[in-house]
């Protein structure tokens, strides 16, 4: 259908499944057409709704709302890291000042801001349903102050449209977080760039590969192995302005990320912890050192262990290569 719309000059919005919020499969099967100009106008538009709109098990979990970050990242947040355009196509909640909805609003707004997802459409202008009051009350005259406060928190610098002398004038908006601006002259220039994508991570000294083992109890361990296979030695690397995260191919449907605990333990866990962002630095020989949030470097040992150390020496140097299959 989209292939027949090559002359269409507008944008093409793509919702997810499951009330519009699930775009997981777009990671494997992104929207591609025979017209490159059309591909550049495809925008993914996930929906976000709180617990009073429809019942979800994740919204009733004991760790709610802190469990939402991993869910959002798995369902649509990863698209931003792939540098694909994402806009929240719908989001809404009830107008209750306390309870689950308030927790959902606060967490979701903060998460969307942190992850550069503040372009949005709110549902809706009118009072569409009893559980999602609109931006106007039932009289269509009185603004809903609470709803407007949510929107202003999420996007305090929106694009503005104004009629002047028979013309529509547009004032460009901006992301609340400076690091979300593209391009931004304030971003560090040498971030280990061009390493995002499917990669293998090989020890420069030992020639072994960073890998993951899955233990009998379902927990994950991080080791170095001699041979590169298609599963646990393939890493998906996403780049931030001055950091990266690393996700092993064998982490399953709920994505997990390379992490370091405060005690130095290296493991693979759900998204949302401070130890999941790493700072790569390129060495003169083309290898990389990978520094944790605690200031220590990832290191390979001859016996296959993966540890942290203070120095970017030969044991801490890795060759990051495109995965061959």
Residue 191 lies in a domain: no
Q: What is the rounded CA–CA span in Å between residue 179 and residue 60?
A: 33
Q: What is the rounded CA–CA span in Å between residue 190 and residue 188?
A: 6
Residues 166 and 37 grouped into a single domain: yes
Inter-CA distances, 175 with 74, 91, 135, 147, Å: 22, 18, 22, 20
Residue 186 lies in a domain: no
Per-residue pLDDT of the chain (325 residues; tens, 9 = 90+): 666 766 777 888 999 988 888 998 887 778 877 777 777 789 999 999 888 777 778 888 888 888 888 889 889 988 887 778 999 999 988 777 778 888 999 999 999 998 899 999 998 888 766 667 789 888 888 998 988 999 999 999 999 999 999 999 999 999 988 878 765 333 333 344 568 778 899 999 999 999 998 888 878 889 999 987 657 888 888 776 678 889 888 865 557 889 998 888 999 887 766 788 899 999 989 899 999 988 999 999 999 999 999 999 999 999 998 876 6
Residues 176 and 205 grouped into a single domain: no
Q: What is the rounded CA–CA span in Å between residue 211 and residue 306?
A: 10
**124 — phi, psi (to 5°)?**
-145, -175
Residues 149 and 206 grouped into a single domain: no
Q: How many CB atoms lie within 10 A of CB 137?
A: 16
Residues 26 and 93 grouped into a single domain: yes
The reported pTM is 0.60
Residue range(s) defining the domain that contains residue 219: 197-322
Residues 27 and 152 grouped into a single domain: yes
Nearest to 46 by CA among 125, 117, 149: 117
Residues 145 and 6 grouped into a single domain: yes
Residue 204 lies in a domain: yes
Residues 169 and 263 grouped into a single domain: no
Q: What is the rounded CA–CA span in Å between residue 257 and residue 249?
A: 10
User: Which residues are registered as beta bridge partners of 262?
Assistant: none
């Amino acid at each position: 259908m989209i292939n027949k719309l090559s002359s269409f000059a507008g944008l093409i919005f793509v919702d997810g499944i499951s009330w519009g919020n699930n775009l997981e499969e777009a990671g494997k099967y992104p929207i591609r057409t025979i017209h490159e100009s059309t591909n550049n106008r495809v925008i993914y538009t996930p929906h976000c709704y709180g617990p009073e709109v429809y019942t979800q098990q994740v919204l009733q979990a004991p760790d709610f709302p802190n469990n939402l970050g991993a869910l959002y990242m798995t369902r649509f947040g990863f698209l931003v890291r792939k540098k694909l355009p994402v806009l929240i196509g719908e989001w809404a909640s009830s107008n209750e000042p306390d309870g689950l909805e308030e927790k959902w609003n606060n967490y979701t707004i903060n998460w969307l801001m942190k992850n550069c997802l503040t372009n949005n459409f709110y549902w809706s202008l009118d009072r569409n349903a009893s559980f999602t009051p609109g931006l106007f009350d039932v009289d269509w005259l009185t603004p809903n102050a609470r709803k407007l406060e949510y929107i202003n928190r999420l996007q305090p610098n929106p694009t503005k449209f104004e009629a002047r002398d028979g013309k529509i004038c547009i004032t460009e908006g901006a992301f609340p977080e400076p690091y979300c601006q593209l391009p931004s002259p304030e971003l560090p220039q040498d971030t280990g760039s061009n390493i995002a994508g499917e990669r293998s991570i090989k020890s420069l000294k030992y020639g072994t590969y960073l890998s993951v083992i899955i233990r009998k109890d379902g927990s994950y361990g991080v080791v170095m192995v001699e041979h590169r296979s298609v599963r646990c030695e393939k890493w998906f690397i996403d780049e931030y302005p001055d950091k990266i995260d690393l996700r092993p191919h064998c982490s399953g449907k709920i994505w997990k990320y390379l992490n370091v605990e405060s005690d130095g333990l290296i493991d693979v866990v759900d998204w949302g912890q401070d130890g999941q962002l790493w700072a790569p630095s390129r060495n003169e020989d083309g290898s990389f050192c990978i520094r944790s949030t605690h200031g220590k470097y990832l290191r390979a040992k001859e016996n296959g262990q993966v540890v942290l150390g203070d120095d970017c020496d030969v044991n801490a140097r890795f060759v990051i290569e495109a995965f061959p299959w």
